[in-house]
Amino acid sequence: MNPRTVVIEEAGPCDAVELVRLINRAYRVEDFFKAADRTTLDEVRTLLERETFLIARAADGSIHGCVRVSAAPPGGHLGMLAVDPGAQGRGLGRRLVAAAESWARAAGCSWMSLEVASPRSELPGYYAQFGYAVAGTKPWPQQALHELKAPAHFIVMSKTLGETPREEHHG
């Protein structure tokens, strides 16, 4: 799979099962602090009704990456960034973040936020390369505390959305 040949498009309800598989496969790296899958089919179906998943679809129809986006102008939010482990390290995550930001701009948003799980110490640096800065913290949801093997909270990051960079137009 060449990341430059995938098409970034909005997911439909028929993509829900493959999205769950992809997200849970990509989030296996959280098994050291979480005792549950990242998502469920019910959750993804519910999210698809009120938010948008942008997906990286290959020519054969398979999905190699996704990001969940929502807009409540002036702010947008991205989450569940997931790239299939076999496709990581090739710029697909970067393309998905850029697509999410472009989507939020088109929806009237002037800033974007996201949350990362505190035990994932590599993620603030990953998102910093896209211009995100730590804006605060948020507690782990009370109803999901039972999933944790170790203490965790969310690190909230945000950035101002400027003009669409030239490289975002190719995907």
Asked if residue 60 belongs to a domain, the reply is yes
**Digitized pLDDT (tens) for each residue of the chain, 171 residues in all:** 665 689 999 999 999 999 999 999 999 999 999 999 999 999 999 999 999 999 999 999 999 999 999 999 999 999 999 999 999 999 999 999 999 999 999 999 999 999 999 999 999 999 999 999 999 999 999 999 999 999 999 999 999 998 655 444 333
The pLDDT, as a whole number, for residue 169 is 38
The pLDDT, as a whole number, for residue 1 is 62
Asked if residue 171 belongs to a domain, the reply is no
Domain of residue 117: give its range.
7-161
Total tally of structural domains belonging to the chain: 1
Element (H, E) at 64: strand 63-72
Asked if residue 2 belongs to a domain, the reply is no
Asked if residue 62 belongs to a domain, the reply is yes
The pLDDT, as a whole number, for residue 167 is 44
Asked if residue 96 belongs to a domain, the reply is yes
3-state secondary structure of 117: strand
The pLDDT, as a whole number, for residue 170 is 37
Asked if residue 29 belongs to a domain, the reply is yes
Asked if residue 18 belongs to a domain, the reply is yes
The pLDDT, as a whole number, for residue 118 is 97
CB 71 within 8 A of CB 109: yes
Cα 90 versus chain centre, distance = 16
- Pairwise CA distance, residues 40 & 60, whole Å: 25
> Which CATH number fits the domain that encloses residue 127?
3.40.630.30
Asked if residue 129 belongs to a domain, the reply is yes
